[in-house]
Amino acid sequence: MRTVDRVLALVLGLAGLALGIVVVAEVVQGLLGRPGHLLVPYEGVATWLREHTWASGAVLTISIVVGVVGLLLLVLELKPRRKTLLVVQGEDDDVVTAISRTGVGRALEQSVSGLAGVDSTRSTVTSRKATLVVRTPLRQSAELDAQVRERAGSALAGLGLASAPSLSIDLQEVSA
């Protein structure tokens, strides 16, 4: 469940709980025969509701807007999530092992960070492609490029992913 979903569920749940408590309190006060309202001045809303039928324009407009918002939220929740885990090949078909895309990126970064001439690294991993950006102050970086490709390639192969993403290396020369 996404963080936004969790926060939204908490807020809507607490709002529903508060509304339920207020409605129960108002109903109990009405059943006890006490005039007026307890917490919510609902007389204006009740009058408006009595004056409008289900077929009136305002009621239909509000219903359509609420329906469209509900359908939009439903479509957004049914949309497939991005895969955050990459499956690792295993010997047993009954056991599924996976590694996060962030973990794959960190493994790639660690594999080349110790090389002479590497200033910094940054990685982006999707289910299909792993991009490793390596910044170096060296001007003649052909040898470093070969070392980075070899180390990152062996690190990616060493993870044993069932469907390994293609590796893309971006060697950027920066001023020292």
* Cut 0.75: pTM above it: no
> Nearest-5° angle of CA 102, CA 73, CA 62?
155
Tens of pLDDT, residue by residue over 80-110, are 877 788 888 888 878 888 899 999 999 999 9
Domain ranges of the chain: 3-78, 85-173
Tens of pLDDT, residue by residue over 51-60, are 999 999 999 9
Residue-level pLDDT at 97: 87
Instruction: Identify the CATH class of 85-173.
Output: alpha beta
pLDDT-based confidence at 8, cuts 50/70/90?
confident
Tens of pLDDT, residue by residue over 114-149, are 888 888 999 999 889 999 999 988 777 778 889 999
Nearest 5°: phi and psi at 144?
-65, -40
Cα separation values, 1 from 8, 17, 76, 78, Å: 11, 22, 13, 12
* Dist. CA 84–CA 61, nearest whole Å: 41
Residue 101 makes CB contacts below 8 A (sequence gap 6+) with 83, 84, 85, 86, 125, 126, 127
The percentage of residues in the chain with a pLDDT greater than 70, rounded to a whole number, is 98
* Dist. CA 154–CA 158, nearest whole Å: 6
pLDDT-based confidence at 1, cuts 50/70/90?
low
Structure tokens at 6: 């969790």
